[in-house]
């Protein structure tokens, strides 16, 4: 049975509906539980898509409005101006919040999505009530060797060439246990890898953040500066077996942010919302409770 056939039998069809919104020529795809609850925007990592948040939509907590989106040039969203920089992607995320009338929201980001969430908080602090940063990119210098090699001209183009090997490499990087990936999510990963032009965008975006020696100093210093000035509750979540970014980055950032929470997950890789969904959900709900308590 093919991945697509397995995906057709998956429980994803029972999740909240997926919509597409056109904002001045930029088409953004998103999943939305709707309702009047506390708004929560879920942002995936580089090369990802909203399906990586499917587990959070299986049993959404009442009182929360969950929205997961395909960032520009990811998943099935279109390209957007300046979408090879996190600042440009953050701008589109804020436009999405405004268009959906979500009001001040909790931002949840995995990997590059965490960096985008931080840039959103810097661009419009009044629109952000709390941050959950899961294996967040740009909190330290170190990054896995394959990403550093991809920053090199020629070699990066070879390493990201679409095909079955690229799919296997992505799966191996985002989780410690590939069998933990549901069929519909695996199908989305394959689709994302094979997206026309996706490899070129992946490299362009990666290279704005990462060089051969690791994350660019300007990128992680900016992220840490944003965290120091952010006024709302913050939670860091990190798998202890993350192959992409060291859990030490989240430990160090936690130490910089008074009152922040740190959740370390043994046996978990780079995508805790997928690989350790129950623990991740508890961390998210605890953060949302802190956000709501701070507003009283």
Confidence of residue 25 (pLDDT cuts 50, 70, 90): very high
Confidence of residue 8 (pLDDT cuts 50, 70, 90): very low
pLDDT at 188 over 80: yes
pLDDT at 1 over 50: no
Rounded CA separation 283/290 (Å): 11
Per-residue DSSP letters for 261-279? Answer: EEEEETT--S-HHHHSHHH
Average pLDDT, the chain: 93
Average pLDDT over residues 236-251: 97
pLDDT at res. 2: 42
| Domain topology for 3-294 | Rossmann fold (3.40.50)
Residue 97: CB atoms within 10 A of its CB come to 22
Q: Are 42 and 106 in contact (CB under 8 A)?
A: no
Return the minimum-mean-pLDDT range out of 31-45, 75-89, 174-188.
174-188
């Amino acid at each position: 049975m093919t991945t697509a056939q397995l995906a057709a039998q998956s429980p994803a069809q029972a999740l909240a509906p997926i919509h597409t919104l056109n904002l001045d020529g930029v088409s953004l795809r998103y999943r939305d539980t709707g309702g009047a609850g506390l708004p929560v925007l879920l942002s995936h990592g580089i090369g990802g898509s909203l399906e990586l948040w499917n587990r959070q939509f299986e049993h959404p907590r009442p009182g929360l409005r969950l929205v997961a989106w395909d960032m520009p040039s990811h998943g099935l969203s279109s390209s957007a101006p300046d979408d090879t920089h996190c600042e440009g992607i953050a701008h589109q995320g804020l436009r999405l919040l405004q268009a959906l009338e979500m009001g001040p929201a909790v931002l949840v980001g995995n990997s590059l999505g965490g960096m985008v969430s931080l840039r959103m908080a810097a661009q419009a602090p009044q629109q952000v009530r709390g941050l959950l940063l899961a294996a967040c990119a740009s909190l330290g210098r170190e990054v896995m060797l394959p990403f550093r090699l991809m920053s090199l001209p020629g070699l990066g183009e070879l390493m990201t060439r679409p095909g079955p090997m690229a799919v296997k490499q992505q799966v191996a990087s985002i989780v410690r246990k590939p069998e933990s990936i549901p069929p519909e999510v695996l199908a989305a990963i394959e689709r994302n890898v094979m997206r026309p032009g996706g490899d070129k965008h992946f490299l362009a975006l990666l290279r704005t953040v990462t060089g051969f020696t690791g994350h660019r100093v300007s990128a992680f210093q900016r992220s840490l500066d944003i965290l120091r000035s952010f006024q709302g509750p913050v939670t860091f979540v990190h798998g202890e077996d993350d192959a992409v970014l060291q859990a030490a980055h989240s430990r160090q950032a936690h130490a910089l942010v008074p009152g922040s929470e740190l959740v370390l997950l043994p046996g978990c890789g780079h995508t805790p919302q997928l690989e350790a969904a129950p623990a991740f959900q508890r961390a998210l709900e605890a953060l949302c409770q802190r956000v709501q308590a701070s507003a009283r």
